[in-house]
A and B are shown apart, each in its own frame.
Chain A
Amino acid sequence: MFTDMVTARHYEERLQEEYLEGKQPAFDISAGQIPGELHLAAGQEPAAVGVCQHLREDDTVTAPHRPHHVAIAKGVDLDRMTAEIFGRQTGLCKGKGGHMHLFDPDVNFACSGIIAQGCPPAVGAALAAKKRGEDSVAVSYLGEGAISQGGFLESLNLASLHDLPVVFVVEDNDWAISMPKERVTNVSNGAKRAEGFEMPGERVDYNDAVAVYEAADGAIERARAGNGPTLLEVQVHRHMGHFMGDPETYRPDEEVPRLRRMDPIDRLADDLRDAGVSDDELEELRETAESRVEDAIAYAKEQPQPDPEEAYEDAFVNPPGASDAAAADAGGDD
């Protein structure tokens, strides 16, 4: 868990640097070497590692528009994910998806730029597992700002009704862009929503990776054993703006420095020291993680840009025109 957390954190810090290169001094979102918006998750690592630590490759994860920490914890190919974020031809999605739309079917990971959009597909993955008699599970991540979406509430109902092996993980970072949680909902403990669907709900406070790990252990085990869904709400902290370039004028000045003093990585490091892990060992883990990130960024930058003509490929697996041509090539007898 510590390794994944420091990997994710270093990754976010390095992406921030790379993203801003070419966009300074005046921030222009369409300039620089990384295209589009960038939503960073520094401070939210416990939600990713505490849950994904229990998952296998064949378990499904859907993540929202702030996906990197979850992707790393789920084992998404870091080199190809980074190449995708840089918009390169050899990226996970050939440069078509970008940072909000990462797909890695090798580890059953997907994310989306539409709020709460990942909840129903996670239910579907769980449904498929149940129908096939497999013991894989699905985890759907969403932010606390997404809990008002119909898609989320409909997914809870469907998952509960059919006892599906799915765990909904609400990352409560207190902010839906500029909207603080108390202006989104009157239910401060989001886990209570589970009661309305006759399913277990649990909230984990203090952005504590070990506590998330323990809560997720029960939820995943319950799902894998065929006992149905769980709702976990996890307190995390968003150290950055909603997206890079967000002026954050809505946020109290003192908040981020305060949150950084409660850094979940420092907390876990303290726990590990208490458990007898030496500073040298922690430093070694940190260095290994950082060099992995540096390698991924170096790899991404070496990759070619896509050929403009590739824009017309992949809308279909069997493109209508191409299959006609293939049929003609094959003698037209199929």
Chain B
Amino acid sequence: MSRAMVEAIRTEMAADEEVFVMGEDVADYGGIFDSTQGLLEEFGHDRVMDVPISETGFIGAGVGAAQAGMRPIVELMFADFFGVAMDQIYNGMAKNTYMSGGAVNVPMVLMTAVGGGYNDAAQHSQTLYGTFTHLPGMKVVVPSTAYDAKGLMHGAIRDDDPVVYMFHKRLMGLAWMPAPPGPKTAVPEEEYTIPFGEADVKREGGDVTVVTLGLHVHRALDAAEDLAEDGIDAEVIDLRTLVPLDEETMLDSVEKTGRLVVVDEDYRSFGLTGEIVARAAESNLDALEAVERVAMPDVPIPYARPLEEEVNPDGEDVAAAVRSALE
């Protein structure tokens, strides 16, 4: 998936001098998660800028450059590190368009790594979809395949609004963190965009709707294959973007199946699972026969392997939730 992201960034940089990349270890290192691999060689340090560890400074500088009309792609190395710089993100990047009555816009991409599953504990493993989507003013995209990663990145860079692009480390195809086979999809050489707000039905089924995104699309698909052996036909919806959210695809599916399972690697309370369930209930309560939520329990993410495996939802957890919804 990382190569697909980089391909989109490279194309946009070549086409538009105003596009540049800024972040910690994005140049010589190529991004800790390969998110900028190879760009330095092609574009040099002026357009692929390593910066001091100073997220408030460089993310805020991204906001300023975007407001000046450039198109910065700024990397926050781990989503967990947002706390250092959240003022610039949510009081500036997210709000300036609104506060200025539309006089100012912030065409910036904030790219950040999310997700656990490699035992890096509570400060490097979070999947903070809820945090970024809760704050209005930013579009939030979450690719689950190489194809989507490229199309969503093209769209993110061209978008005149701030876009938070959250990629899961385990989907990137890093040598030291093997990815499941799912994200390794074919990627066309030419450029293309995936419209924001269009969910993807990754598997059709009539018995239950599983709504998820990112890494957990692949866990849900694995679960769906297992369930199929028992005659359970699960539909798996990959949201792809959270802001804007494709309610229609999701709600149509729930109307068909009557059962909704939401799978999220973020915390359970006050987050994505509650939001999706609420929207389904608001829209058509009568269609809902059963609801299940699968998410991180409300504890910080533990370090030891048995502890993290306990809290991070896997395919078995998804399958169990589907079975429960069918009871």
**Contact A308 B123, beta carbon cutoff 8 Å:** no
Identify A29's interface contact among B25, B52, B118, B307, CB under 8 A: B118
Identify A114's interface contact among B32, B84, B310, CB under 8 A: B84
Question: Inside 8 A of A184's CB, which chain B residues have their CB?
Answer: 52-53
**Contact A245 B176, beta carbon cutoff 8 Å:** yes
Question: Inside 8 A of A29's CB, which chain B residues have their CB?
Answer: 118-119, 176-177
* Smallest CB separation, B168 vs chain A (Å): 14
Instruction: Report if A28-B57 is in contact (Cβ < 8 Å); known contacts: A36-B303, A96-B307, A311-B310.
Output: no
**Contact A178 B310, beta carbon cutoff 8 Å:** no
Indicate whether B28 reaches chain A with its CB closer than 8 angstroms: yes
Indicate whether B297 reaches chain A with its CB closer than 8 angstroms: yes
Identify B175's interface contact among A26, A113, A185, CB under 8 A: A26
**Contact B306 A306, beta carbon cutoff 8 Å:** yes
**Contact B50 A88, beta carbon cutoff 8 Å:** no
**Contact B176 A28, beta carbon cutoff 8 Å:** yes
Indicate whether B83 reaches chain A with its CB closer than 8 angstroms: yes
**Contact A98 B119, beta carbon cutoff 8 Å:** yes
Identify B302's interface contact among A95, A100, A250, CB under 8 A: A95
- B309: nearest residue on chain A (CB-CB)? A308
**In the bound complex, CA of A37 to CA of B121 (Å):** 9
Question: Inside 8 A of A62's CB, which chain B residues have their CB?
Answer: none
Instruction: Report if A315-B304 is in contact (Cβ < 8 Å); known contacts: A100-B121, A151-B84, A176-B52.
Output: no
**In the bound complex, CA of A97 to CA of B302 (Å):** 7
**Contact B54 A148, beta carbon cutoff 8 Å:** yes
Question: Inside 8 A of B120's CB, which chain A residues have their CB?
Answer: 35-37, 98
**Contact B28 A27, beta carbon cutoff 8 Å:** no
Question: Inside 8 A of A96's CB, which chain B residues have their CB?
Answer: 121-122, 300, 302-304, 307
- B81: nearest residue on chain A (CB-CB)? A114
* Smallest CB separation, A248 vs chain B (Å): 9
**In the bound complex, CA of A306 to CA of B309 (Å):** 11
* Smallest CB separation, A197 vs chain B (Å): 18
- Tally of contact residues, A, Cβ under 8 A: 49
Indicate whether A268 reaches chain B with its CB closer than 8 angstroms: no
**Contact B123 A114, beta carbon cutoff 8 Å:** yes
**Contact A27 B175, beta carbon cutoff 8 Å:** yes
Question: Inside 8 A of B297's CB, which chain A residues have their CB?
Answer: 311-312
Indicate whether B178 reaches chain A with its CB closer than 8 angstroms: yes
Indicate whether A87 reaches chain B with its CB closer than 8 angstroms: yes
- Summarize B's interface: helix, strand, loop or mixed: loop
Indicate whether A150 reaches chain B with its CB closer than 8 angstroms: yes
**In the bound complex, CA of A63 to CA of B118 (Å):** 23
Q: Which residues in window 302-328 of A have CB below 8 A to B?
A: 305-312, 314-315
Indicate whether A258 reaches chain B with its CB closer than 8 angstroms: no
**Contact B56 A150, beta carbon cutoff 8 Å:** yes
**In the bound complex, CA of A311 to CA of B304 (Å):** 9
B53, B80, B306 interface centre (most CB from chain A within 10 Å): B53
Q: Which residues in window 7-36 of B have CB below 8 A to A?
A: 24-25, 27-29, 32
**Contact A146 B53, beta carbon cutoff 8 Å:** yes
Instruction: Report if A305-B175 is in contact (Cβ < 8 Å); known contacts: A36-B121, A250-B28.
Output: no
Count of A-B contacts judged by CB separation below 8 Å = 146
**Contact A98 B83, beta carbon cutoff 8 Å:** no
Question: Inside 8 A of B54's CB, which chain A residues have their CB?
Answer: 148-150
Question: Inside 8 A of B302's CB, which chain A residues have their CB?
Answer: 95-96, 306, 311
- Tally of contact residues, B, Cβ under 8 A: 43
Indicate whether A160 reaches chain B with its CB closer than 8 angstroms: no
Identify B32's interface contact among A95, A176, A177, CB under 8 A: A177
**Contact A308 B307, beta carbon cutoff 8 Å:** yes
**In the bound complex, CA of A88 to CA of B120 (Å):** 15
**Contact B123 A100, beta carbon cutoff 8 Å:** yes
**Contact B303 A98, beta carbon cutoff 8 Å:** yes
Q: Which residues in window 191-220 of A have CB below 8 A to B?
A: none
Q: Which residues in window 289-315 of B have CB below 8 A to A?
A: 297-300, 302-311
Question: Inside 8 A of B117's CB, which chain A residues have their CB?
Answer: 30
**In the bound complex, CA of A249 to CA of B83 (Å):** 30
- B303: nearest residue on chain A (CB-CB)? A98
**Contact B124 A35, beta carbon cutoff 8 Å:** no
Indicate whether A115 reaches chain B with its CB closer than 8 angstroms: yes
Identify B118's interface contact among A30, A87, A97, CB under 8 A: A30
**In the bound complex, CA of A312 to CA of B268 (Å):** 13
Q: Which residues in window 250-293 of B have CB below 8 A to A?
A: none
**In the bound complex, CA of A311 to CA of B118 (Å):** 16
* Smallest CB separation, B48 vs chain A (Å): 12
* Smallest CB separation, B116 vs chain A (Å): 10
**Contact B53 A30, beta carbon cutoff 8 Å:** no
**Contact B84 A315, beta carbon cutoff 8 Å:** no
* Smallest CB separation, B227 vs chain A (Å): 24
Indicate whether A9 reaches chain B with its CB closer than 8 angstroms: no
Question: Inside 8 A of A307's CB, which chain B residues have their CB?
Answer: 306
Instruction: Report if A305-B53 is in contact (Cβ < 8 Å); known contacts: A27-B176, A30-B119, A178-B29.
Output: no
Identify A179's interface contact among B24, B32, B84, B122, CB under 8 A: B24
Question: Inside 8 A of B50's CB, which chain A residues have their CB?
Answer: 178-179, 183
Question: Inside 8 A of B29's CB, which chain A residues have their CB?
Answer: 177-178, 249-250
- B302: nearest residue on chain A (CB-CB)? A96
**Contact B122 A101, beta carbon cutoff 8 Å:** yes
* Smallest CB separation, A233 vs chain B (Å): 16
Question: Inside 8 A of B304's CB, which chain A residues have their CB?
Answer: 35, 87-89, 95-96, 98, 305-306
* Smallest CB separation, B246 vs chain A (Å): 32
Q: What are 15 of the A-B contact pairs (CB < 8 Å)?
A: A35-B119, A95-B304, A96-B302, A97-B122, A97-B303, A98-B303, A114-B83, A114-B84, A148-B57, A176-B53, A178-B28, A179-B50, A308-B310, A311-B302, A315-B298
- Starting from the known contacts A95-B307, A305-B305, 12 additional A-B residue pairs (CB-CB under 8 Å) come to A28-B176, A29-B118, A30-B117, A35-B308, A96-B302, A98-B120, A148-B57, A150-B84, A178-B25, A185-B52, A311-B307, A311-B308
